[in-house]
Amino acid sequence: MTTSTIFLLLAIGLFAGFFSGMIGLGGGIIIIPALIYFLHMSQYEAQGTSLGIMLPPIGLLAAWNYYKAGALNLKFALIIAAAFFIGGYFGSRYALTLPEAMMRKIFAVSLILVAIKMLWSK
């Protein structure tokens, strides 16, 4: 694994963690598209790796199925999970300083932008 790949994984984890802490977005909205577009993973590997990030209470059995099928990059999942943990802390701290109406608008715009990107990309 190259230094640039590790940097990219950390950036994905921090970004997803920040937005998860701030507006509740993370795995499906940020991590999966980032793994597909930036690291060129298949949809299945991106989904399996995203589940691996959230293992303990959320997706242990589902992630195990992806792992057995060879569709979970465990190293990537662990690096992003560590960065996600830190990003979530800072994102939640920032979110709590913003008015609720602003948070609602940020959440809505985030969903729309990701949906448009995924709808019109190959």
**Does pTM top 0.85 for this prediction?**
no
Domain encompassing residue 55: 3-120
* 81-122 residue pLDDT tens: 899 889 888 988 888 888 888 877 887 788 798 889 878 887
**What number of CA atoms fall less than 13 Å from residue 85's CA on the CB side?**
9
With a cut of 80, say whether residue 3 has pLDDT above it. yes
Question: For the chain, what is the mean pLDDT?
Answer: 84
What is the domain count for the chain? 1
